[in-house]
Amino acid sequence: MAAEDDAIRDEALGWLREHWNPELRVRDWWTLLAESGWGFPSWPREWFGRGLRSEQAAAVRDAFREVGAIGPPGSLGQRLGGPTLLTHARREILEQFLPELAYGREYWCQYFSEPGAGSDLAGLQTRAVREGDEWIVNGQKVWTSGAQYADRAMLLARTDPDAPKHHGLTYFIIDMDQPGIEVRPLHQMNDAHGFNETFFTDARVGNDRIVGQLNGGWSVALTTLMYERGGGAVPSAHPGKRLAMLDMTVGEVVAGRERGEREGLGMAAITPTVIDVARELERETDPVVRQRLAQLHALEEVLRLGGLRSTSARRTGEGPGPGGSVGKIARSNLSRLTREVGMEVLGANGMLVGPTTPGGGRLQHAALSSPGSSIAGGTDEIQHNIIGERVLGLPKEPRLDADVPFRELKTGTQSRPE
């Protein structure tokens, strides 16, 4: 297998070195990737891919990184929607949407979570009611990344309130450009506003936009969530028209990404910044501070080695398994420890923000961003449950509502039976 993976990596390297040109526009580069199959190598050959296994696709990603080329378009539509469609959708839906995703012409978001249905996703209450050849959608979604830029969305809605909560859901592809959808940004305390809440008021989606089976959306949603927990994406530009990156050159995208990394906008490998700030403020000789810096460095190094182990497992064909949950909790712990040590080192400087503060404001931004790390991508509590059940062999939490019609449940924000 290793020799085969190396051969695929060498083939991808050869193609990328021949075709990578920083002067190309993003849309033209993505066209080359889509038509060559190297952009989405794990997709079938018929659908803009090469039919490679996951470990072989990882070898292709290595080739992108070695050349320094940006990857294929990478909104949730490409990362989650495309694989979900390939698993569950009819050919007509594949023909309609996969070209838009592969060429980067559309940006998609994901409408799953609701105010009363986060960890208990199956308790969602957004309703879709059949009216002729359309479904009328009413309800609310929250914590939706990129909704303000999206052309379409993956929508999970309740279509049968008389069925148990896992069995009355349907998965749709809904158009965002319609009057019945209102997107409101959520301004976060770290000054970002990538998340949104969305209100549906008699929004419409065609019956021909159902992915999978009517009332069978739970299994389709699980497929999407499986790909959400995967990793290994190559840094790229944003697809769709609203972010105006299609007509930039790929060289401009690379330069912008490198500039962002230099300015400390990323959160990866932040320990060196904490150490540099400790030296700048002459706190590196304090024995307590040194102990905390060593603790932070050790945890970050353990997480890095765990990531390498996961990558190795993917390259040998192993699935992520419960190890993904262990890594998720480790990242949450690292984020919290970074906040604590960073603020200890900064002292009074921690009350200031901006690029002129010690560390360029990166530690303050990390501190304000830290609560989200234990929520995004599955809460720490959910990850603990997975580890308990799949690693420790503990019994599952009791589910007393598994066979109860949703209409009869008092769940989430539902205050009375419908």
CA angle, 326 then 273 then 308, to 5°: 35
Active site includes 340? no
CA torsion through residues 59, 64, 68, 73, sign: negative
3-state secondary structure of 48: coil
> CA-based Rg of the chain, rounded to a whole angstrom?
23
Q: Transcribe 90-153 into DSSP letters.
A: -HHHHHHHHHHHHTT---EEEE--BTTBSSSGGG---EEEEETTEEEEEEEE-S-TTGGG-SEE
Candidates 134, 228, 252, 284; catalytic one: 228
3-state secondary structure of 205: strand
Distance CA 219, CA 179 (A): 30
**Residue with tokens 């009328």, as numbered in its chain:** 136
Q: Transcribe 341-390 into DSSP letters.
A: HHHHHHGGGGG--STTSGGGGHHHHHHHHHHHHTTTTS-HHHHHHHHHHH
| 121, 112 contact by CB (below 8 A) | yes
Q: Which residues are catalytic, by number?
A: 228
